[in-house]
Amino acid sequence: MLADIPAALMLVGLAAYTVLAGADFGAGFWTLVPGGGRASSAATRDHARHAMGPVWEANHVWLIFVLVVCWTAYPVAFASITSTLSVPFFIAAVGGILRGASYALRGQLDASSGRRLVECVFALSSIMTPFALGTVVGAIAAGRVPVGNARGEAFGSWLNPTSVLIGTLAVATSSYLAAVYLAADARRLGEHALERDFRVRALVLGFVAGALAIAALAVVRADAPLLWSGLTSGAGLAMVCASAAAGLLTLLLVLRRRFEPARASAVGAVGAIVAGWAFAQYPRFLPGLTVEQAAAGPSTLSAVVIGVGAGAMVLIPALTLLFGLFLRGHLDAHGSVEALAADLPRGPAKGRAPRLGWLAITCLLAGCALLVVSDSGWAHAVSVVSLFASVPSAFVLAVDIPSDMPGSPISREGEHRHE
Amino acid sequence: MVNVILATAAAAFAPVDQHYLFQARQMQALSLAVHIPLVCFGIAFPSLVLFAEWRSLRTGDPLFRTLARRWSKVMLALFAVGVVTGTILSLELGLLWPGFMAAFGNVFGLGFVLEGISFFVEAIFIAIYVYGWERLPPRLHFLSGFPVVVAGVAGSLFVISVNGWMNQPTGFALAGGVATDVQPWSALFASRYFWHEFVHMYFAGYVVAGFLLASAYAWRFLRGSPDRYERAALTIALSAAAVAAPVQIVIGDWAAREVAKAQPVKLAAMEGLARTTPGAPVHVLGWFDGDQVVYGIEIPRLLSLLAFHNASATVQGLDSVPPAERPPVNVVRFAFQTMVGIGTLLAILSAVYLFVRFRHKRLPTSRWFYRAVLTAGPLSVVALIAGWITTEVGRQPWVVYGVMRTSAAVTGAYGIPIGYGTLILVYLLLAGALVWTLRRLAAAPLDAAAAPALATARLAPSESRESSHAR
């Protein structure tokens, strides 16, 4: 029981990564093929790029979360997976570097010659990374990762029918999710041409992803019989059906231009696929290794559960806040509602400098003396606290004290117009 | 039953014959060297940005608001790159060191779980902060920056707790190559070793981020007369670095004493001490020829005095362990001397700055001072990386000190040189792109990307939207 909880947490993380970061990858895909719609290519690219701005970083931390929970709770399984599948993981990693860098760079380039190249790198890496990660999922699902240090095939493990099809499905699903989200965003921003374009794209990609999913089932039947039997019975089957139903519902909603509910049902469709995979292979983790056998001892497992549980108390409200602000458009880069501070208090604080100075000097001397002279842990703790009190005080003084002196860096010289 | 299976699994991770162990280590080192300067910004930048915003809230001076806004954009870009390089590092732990992960993931993994959660909190609030400038009420916006500060510090604390554990492993028992009886909390946080590492790194964060930022503005000082904005930016960045750099010497002394206690062989490698010696000397510069330091300046008894506060204390030499258990002396020693040398120069520069600042209540005027600041940024990064080389290479040949050799941790997969070569190419490409972008930004330092520009106090009010709002 305890052994399964981290696996469930990983599954939640993986589902979140798929529907959130997946849509970011998909937005990258649409920057590669921005044409063919009513809106201009440039507008389409800008829309795709802006839409992921505020949530980009948070979305990609999900992968780190899945990795760290895996290696803590199931160390042997983690090491087997990463060592056998080092090639696709490395491709995903390089894709991640190129993607992150080109995204950061793109923000600095508004109209210069290198822009197209950077955009191209961004789009291609947005396809490369989900494909590689999809093949990893395929390799694990098809049971091609034996337990041990790089015991599986270096290429056959992830370049096989199941893996390649799941990699392709990952790219298609990402693009599909992105199209649905981008249509919803365009509606919110009142961009009708973009809304129309992404509605058509969502419909097309919805059919493509559905067709690929059916093809994947056929391939799995031939290539990975164990997975097939899991997907066609019990909870696995229920999830496959739920995913299909949610997928159809999404198409219907997109067709009727109800984008916000479509966003939710698209998430449901993709989340159900991930859950279906998990049910299909449970309790198998790797060939010859069940989840329970792979699990670390109870002390580690409970530490993970406690750590993640405590983290969730902070993370869930924080994520709710972020996505609440984001989905209601409060973090949009477009337009601006200046909430500026006309009524802010003014005037620098005076008369506190001498006290702060004495605090800084006393704490510095005490901290240094204790750290150098004593060897006891408590003395070191006290000295570190003293240093942490002293150094910021000195910093504030170094920045602030001379603010009324002529020639000081932040004096108000040259600002007489404002005074 | 479960134990039997795990023991079998552990046998599947028996040491392999990996021809490219050295390349695997270099690949990991390269990735760390790229990531670590970003960590410094993660530790220090949020509080500097918040300081600027706090000044703007207190004084109503729009200059500080502009400064905080611009810096926050840089902060977000650096964080985004940090997410990527951090993901690479976590993948590489599995790709390159499966033996280590399989055997001890259950002991130290908790540190990374907690770090992952901190990273999450940081990512969420950094987005709210940076994208919320025009949307959130000023005080709420200011508050939304605090979780970023806390999470940045907490994240580095958790990662360093893992490094502390690798250097002083506790909290488990070994049975047939598998860690059993695992106590993850005390393994990570009851270890005495990690505290000095954390405090040293925390201050390094301010030294590196502060000097790097100051470098950028020092360049403007050298090119012409800096405006009010640039002077304020330089003052904040340089003050942060200058108050941290001298204290770093005291913390470094503490760190060295902890190393002397917990890892005497690492200390012997740092100092090139071949034989266990009472009243051991320190050698400045020079070269370790396999038996002693040649061409160095010897300071008698200083090592004993520094390490044990007793000029005639006996210091363990490299000969206290068999040759196969010694780290590569010259690498460790050269890295250590580089860190100490640069650290000392940075502390002197800081002292000059603080003296002029407090005594004359102005910024230094000498061009030489700004030339020194210009070089201090890159040099501080060199010192940072040299410090990590000292502690990481100094731990060799162990990945878990005294418990597991790095050669027993490495992957059995082929193709490490291909991966390493690719990574070098990609990072070179990135470095090129970064230099190119910086040159562009330098050519037009106050371009539109910097948003509502209160570029200089000399701008006409009509050009400065924010200043007119703040009036």
pLDDT digits (tens, 9 = 90+) for B225-280: 778 888 888 989 999 999 999 999 999 998 988 898 888 999 999 988 888 888 88
CA distances from B345 to B180, B217, B249, B372 (A): 47, 20, 11, 10
Q: How many CB atoms lie within 10 A of CB B386?
A: 19
CB atoms A375 and B257 under 8 Å? yes
Peptide bond into A283 cis (omega under 30): yes
Which DSSP category does A233 fall into?
S
Alpha helix segments (H runs only) across A190-233: 192-223, 225-231
Chain-centre distance for alpha carbon B368: 28
pLDDT band at B450 (very low <50, low <70, confident <90, very high): very low
CA A367 and chain centroid, separation: 41
Angle between helices A161-189 and A115-141 (to 10 degrees): 130
| CA–CA distance, B75 with B66 (Å, rounded to integer) | 14
* Candidate from B116, B240, B242 with C-beta closest to A64: B116
Picking from B16, B19, B12, the residue whose alpha carbon sits closest to that of residue B420 is B19
Q: Residues of B numbered 351-380 whose beta carbons fall under 8 angstroms of chain A's beta carbons: which are they?
A: 354, 357-358, 361-363
Q: Which residue of A has its CA nearest to B61?
A: A346
Please count the other Cβ atoms lying within 10 Å of the Cβ belonging to residue A27: 28
Question: How much is the average pLDDT of A52-71?
Answer: 83
Residue A20: closest CA among A277, A290, A310, A322: A322
Identify whether the C-beta of residue A387 lies closer than 8 Å to the C-beta of residue B247: yes
Contact with chain B for residue A104, Cβ under 8 A: yes
Q: Which residue has the higher pLDDT, B1 or A174?
A: A174
Spatial separation of the C-alpha atoms in residues B419 and A158, rounded to whole Å: 17
As a whole number, mean pLDDT of residues A6-27 equals 88
- Cβ-in-10-Å burial (0-12, 13-18, 19+) of B427 comes to middle
| Minimum-distance CB partner of B116 among A61, A87, A341 | A61
B317 by DSSP, 3-state: which?
coil
For residue A310, report the phi and psi dihedrals to the nearest 5 degrees: -65, -40
Per-residue pLDDT tens digits for A180-222:
988 988 888 888 888 888 899 999 998 898 899 888 888 888 8
Nearby residues of B33 by Cβ (< 8 Å), 6 or more positions away: B385, B388
Q: For A175, phi and psi rounded to 5 degrees? A: -65, -35
Q: What is the average pLDDT across A72-95?
A: 90
> Distance between CA atoms of A269 and A277, rounded to whole angstroms?
13
Q: What is the pLDDT of residues B162-185, one digit of tens each?
A: 999 999 888 888 877 778 888 888
Predicted TM-score (pTM) of this structure: 0.87
Q: CA A270 to CA B216: how far, in whole Å?
A: 46
Give the per-residue pLDDT at B466: 37
Calpha distance B361→B356 (Å, rounded): 7
Quickly count: other Cβ atoms within 10 Å of residue A31's Cβ: 21
| Complex ipTM more than 0.90, yes or no | no
Closest to A231 measured CA to CA, from A266, A174, A275: A275
Please tell me the distance from the alpha carbon of residue B270 to that of residue B331, in angstroms, as a whole number. 9
Measured in degrees and rounded to the nearest 5, phi and psi for residue B301 equal 65, 0
Q: Look-up: residue for tokens 């901190």?
A: B118
Question: Which of A12, A55, A57, A371 to probe by mutation at the B interface, max B CB count within 10 Å?
Answer: A57
* B406-441 confidence digits (pLDDT tens): 988 888 888 888 889 999 998 898 888 777 777 776
Q: How many CB atoms neighbour CB A127 within 10 A? A: 21
Query: If 0-12 CB within 10 Å is exposed, 13-18 middle and 19+ buried, where does residue A155 land?
Result: exposed
Q: What proportions of chain B, in percent to the nearest 5, are helix, strand and coil?
A: 75, 5, 20
Q: Each residue of B182-201: pLDDT tens digit?
A: 888 888 888 888 888 999 99
Q: Domain-by-domain residue ranges, chain B?
A: 230-413
The reply to whether B121 touches chain A by the CB within 8 Å rule is yes
Q: Retrieve residue B118's tokens.
A: 């901190």
In percent, the amount of chain B with pLDDT more than 90 equals 34
What pLDDT is recorded for position A110? 61
Reduce the DSSP state of residue B294 to 3 states and report it.
strand
Q: Are B62 and B418 in contact (CB under 8 A)?
A: no
Q: Tens of pLDDT along A312-342?
A: 888 888 888 888 887 777 676 544 433 333 3
Considering only CB atoms, which chain A residues are within 8 Å of B77? 104, 107-108
- Which residue is closest to A406 within chain B, CA to CA? B362
Residue of B207, B152, B347, B195 lying closest to A385 (CA atoms): B195
B125–A contact, CB cutoff 8 A: yes
Instruction: Tell me whether residues B106 and A397 touch, CB distance under 8 A.
Output: no
Q: Residue A414: is its pLDDT beyond 80?
A: no
User: Is B180 in a helix, a strand, or coil?
Assistant: strand
Give the residue with greater pLDDT, A328 vs A129: A129
Q: Decide if A143 touches B, using CB distance below 8 A.
A: no
| Tens-place pLDDT, residues B328-363 | 999 999 999 999 999 999 999 999 998 988 888 788
Do A125 and A98 meet the contact criterion of CB atoms below 8 Å apart?
A: yes
CB contact under 8 A, B358 and A104: no
Residue A347: phi, psi to the nearest 5?
85, 130
Integer CA distances (angstroms), B330 to B29, B274, B337, in order: 17, 12, 10
Q: Is B402 on the interface with A (CB under 8 A)?
A: no
pLDDT higher than threshold 50 for residue B1: no
B102 near A CB under 8 A: yes
Banded model confidence at residue B451, pLDDT cuts 50, 70, 90: very low
